[in-house]
A and B are shown apart, each in its own frame.
Chain A
Amino acid sequence: MMNETLVDLSRLQFALTALYHFLFVPLTLGLAFVLAIMESVYVMTNKIIYKDMTRFWGKLFAINFAMGVATGITLEFQFGTNWAYYSHYVGDIFGVPLAIEGLMAFFLESTLVGVFFFGWDRLSKVQHLAVTWLIALGSNLSALWILIANAWMQNPVGTHFNYETMRMELSSLSEVFFNPVAQVKFVHTVASGYVTGTVFVLGISAYYLLKGRDIAFARRSFAVAAGFGLASILSVLVLGDESGYSVGEVQKVKLAAIEGMWETEKPPASFTIIGFPDNETQTTYFPLKIPYVLGIIATRSLNEPVLGLKELIQRNEERIRQGKLAYGLLQKLRSDEKTELVKTKFEQLKKFLGYGLLLKRYTPNVVDATETQIHQAALNSIPKSWPVFWSFRVMVGAGILMLFLFVAAFYYNAKREIEKKRWLLYFALFSIPLPWIAIESGWIVAEYGRQPWAIGEILPTFLGVSSVSVNQVLLSLGSLIALYTGLLIVELYLMFKYARLGPSTLGTGRYCFEQSNRL
């Protein structure tokens, strides 16, 4: 029988370590490009201040990068340590993008990052610039492969079930690579990383401007961030991965859960801005709706319906019944009753096998599941609506605030008036947490909204756990929380300290705190 505590603890550990890891990744993704842009200007104009900018923001990049690398190892280990059955069941496909990520991207970015910091006087200008661009490329390729893996969990394509080896096996690598969900996810995620990097630079530069120090340095940094940031926030919002929600079953369910939409509406469906979804009563209380908007955004059409949760649950109930049959046939195949007839019947029903596995939560044998259990499994075949409903709105709200920020920053920067607009500088400074709030909420939407599946329609989350003991997981969870909390405090302390010290940390003698009579 499955151990609910073990499942919950393992999920908690994965969620915490993944969210924690993603405190650092987006800043790496974004800052790498900011550095590359700054250094390009340096190489083109030969103005030393752009080199100082690259080096100073590079210092903050380093403080952040170290944590990103450190916390990434945990995630790679964790599939094996805590999700052994998951790894067994889908490793044939899921492992591939992870391995290629290491070879193609992580190697590139990590090997070159040392040369970025220590190679300033060992390389020609152009060589060093190439290194910086390759780091940016590497970190983005890294995101690409990880998101291909993640998108496959949401929309598993290019795969089939092998009953001999009891696992999913690869049928088409190109389908896995060109998974439409992966493409939207990639654009959305890396662009949100650029937003993080630019809000970070914008906010800290605004701080220097407010303090009236290192003006030339801050103004130029602000300009780079404002331009690149505006382009990035527009891509995040316009190419938001909402468009990916029409692809794949899990994504459809997620979309309905995000909207707290229980009934299928006549297309184009209306969009609920605010409301209080409740799974128990299958109702969203006090909804505030705008007509047509959701249907148009989600389906890019006027006549395609967006399915409501009630209908999705009903559909799933039937699939679970089919899945129960598929599971029965699988058991025969794995024993000695392997006849051609059983094989053919299994081939027809195997796409529902995952739904049958949902019943394992209620009865380990699956085949003896009662109608009540099937109904219960169907009700739980969608995620709880309110967490995704609200995370989604927090994400979008933060996104819109940042859009205002960048539009204003870009406009006043173009007019060369930023220093006069103190409200804008304060706005920029206090916006620094916004991208993180948006991104973490976004991941909650994406991954909580995938429940109860680890791999959409294939493997329920609870089945994926390792057969380790609750105490082992408690121990690892406890140690990781303690370690991560300590490291976060240290990291933030250093980040604040170095951000406050500003470019004077480079020791060039050109900046505030180190100049006596020069400007």
Chain B
Amino acid sequence: MILEYETLKLIWLLLIGALFIGFAITGGFDLGAGALLLLIGKNDTERRLILNSIGPTWEGNQVWFITAGGALFAAMPLMYAAAFSGFYSILLLILIPLILRPPGMDYRSKLPSKTWRTTWDFCLFLSGFVPAFLFGLSFGSLLSGISFYYDNELMPHLTGSFLSLLSPYALLCGIVSLCIILLQGSLFLQIKTTVPINARTLKSARWFGVLFILSFAYTWYWTVFKIDGFQIISIPNPNESFSPLSKQVMTGLGFWLQNYEKFPLGYCAPLSSIAGVIIALVFSTYQRPGYALFFNSIALASLIITAGFTLFPFILPSASHPDHSLTIWDAASSHLTLSWMLIATLLLLPIVLAYTTWVFRVMRGTVTESSHLKKSESY
């Protein structure tokens, strides 16, 4: 064990963040394209073009999410346990569309019936739209805290209702994530398609880009001036292992700004998120969707970093029992587990990145009716 426990806890926060960023960027192509399916695809051929744009890569992209979940389980089991049971109904609402997506993609074009295809189109729309919205909503609920406490045997007890998760603030965060994912999907489709779909993606990119900037700015204002943040008053040495019951936490207005006051460099994150979207829109307008996608991916990453940096070191604040909130210092796995997991990740993640890049390269180029829809394998 070369690295200190405290360092490892930090590294794992970053790695899980990186996995979620990986999902937001690549899964964003597919969730966005799915959510835009009905809006941008006006007829069966156009919808098939959209589905075949994400066709060869969406399955791999989804694994970022599965792996992020697995990594959360392994590296922060307390967070995994409390958050997943705390967000029970929300997760069910994310799960059902995600279940519909693989059969939706694969089965939709397997039968010629119009009703069959329209039904699946609607399912595919939901499977992009709903998760894109609910991911943001969940982040919003993290920032405002959910209601739970631990008993002496560290069983998490959840006291909040389903409706308490749907606060106006959380809904606003949902809109933020929805907009940027719709933008990501638009830009990906702009690369992959030709007129007339291409022209529509340009338009939708502009709409959702502007909407993102407005909603994100408003969320920022709301986070700083209208909701209680959390702050640690006392905590045992982060280099040791201890239970989440052994610290003291205070809440108050404006506390979520404290990390920025301590490290003003942190302001770069929200700013680069907005700047990224603006630059992306410029490139998109001048039909340089590749660059646009690159900058929007930076914006997406910055957005997740902003949320993480604001919360730090909290990962699951408890609104009802602030002392029981989870932080990266007390929700992590043991020193040995974190060490081994880091070794495994350092060995495997580069390989994953290598073949993922290779697959995107092999599958590059625009999707057209003559070249793509005639094959028996196409969606």
| A residues whose Cβ falls under 8 Å from a Cβ of B | 55, 58-59, 62-63, 65-67, 69-74, 76-77, 79-82, 84-88, 90-96, 98-104, 106-108, 110-115, 117-120, 122-123, 162, 164-167, 169-171, 173, 334, 466-468, 472, 475-476, 479, 483, 487, 490-491, 494, 497-498, 505-507
Contact B333 A74 (CB under 8 A): no
Instruction: Using A88-B154, A483-B96, A491-B103 as known contacts, say yes or no to A114 and B66 having CB atoms under 8 A apart.
Output: no
Contact B243 A73 (CB under 8 A): no
B92 within 8 A of A: yes
Contact B73 A67 (CB under 8 A): no
Please give, as numbers and ranges, the residues of chain A lying within 8 Å of B82 by CB-CB distance. Answer: 84, 88
Interface string of B221-237 (1 = CB under 8 A from A): 00000000000000000
**18 A-B pairs whose Cβ atoms sit less than 8 Å apart in the complex:** A63-B106, A73-B95, A84-B81, A92-B74, A94-B73, A95-B73, A96-B74, A96-B337, A102-B71, A103-B349, A104-B348, A106-B63, A110-B59, A111-B60, A113-B60, A114-B56, A123-B362, A466-B158
Give, as a whole number of angstroms, the nearest-CB distance from B339 to chain A: 9
* Neighbour of B56 across the interface among A84, A115, A165, A494, CB < 8 A: A115
Give, as a whole number of angstroms, the nearest-CB distance from A53 to chain B: 14
B67 within 8 A of A: yes
* Neighbour of B84 across the interface among A84, A118, A162, CB < 8 A: A84
Please give, as numbers and ranges, the residues of chain B lying within 8 Å of A114 by CB-CB distance. Answer: 55-60, 359, 363
Please give, as numbers and ranges, the residues of chain A lying within 8 Å of B153 by CB-CB distance. Answer: 166
Contact A85 B155 (CB under 8 A): yes
Scoring A96, A164, A479 by chain B CB atoms within 10 A of each residue's CB, the highest score goes to A96
Chain A residue, CB-CB nearest to B151: A467
Give, as a whole number of angstroms, the nearest-CB distance from B365 to chain A: 9
Chain A residue, CB-CB nearest to B57: A114
Contact A111 B84 (CB under 8 A): no
Given contacts A70-B100, A79-B84, A99-B71, list 12 more A-B pairs with CB under 8 A.
A67-B102, A69-B62, A80-B80, A88-B77, A95-B75, A99-B73, A108-B352, A114-B363, A115-B359, A170-B333, A466-B88, A467-B85
* Neighbour of B91 across the interface among A62, A77, A92, A483, CB < 8 A: A77
**Inter-chain residue pair count (beta carbon < 8 A):** 263
Contact A66 B155 (CB under 8 A): no
Instruction: Using A110-B59, A117-B377, A498-B110 as known contacts, say yes or no to A98 and B355 having CB atoms under 8 A apart.
Output: no
CA distance A98 to B77 in the complex (A): 12
CA distance A490 to B377 in the complex (A): 19
Give, as a whole number of angstroms, the nearest-CB distance from A89 to chain B: 8
| B residues whose Cβ falls under 8 Å from a Cβ of A | 55-60, 62-63, 66-67, 69-75, 77-78, 80-85, 87-89, 91-92, 95-96, 98-103, 105-107, 110-111, 152-158, 162, 241-243, 333-334, 336-337, 340-341, 344-345, 348-349, 352, 355-356, 359, 362-363, 375-378
CA distance A101 to B73 in the complex (A): 12
Chain B residue, CB-CB nearest to A80: B84
Closest 10 pairs between A and B when the two form their complex, measured CB to CB? A91-B77, A80-B84, A95-B74, A111-B60, A102-B67, A114-B56, A95-B73, A466-B85, A99-B70, A87-B81
Give, as a whole number of angstroms, the nearest-CB distance from A493 to chain B: 9
CA distance A72 to B99 in the complex (A): 9
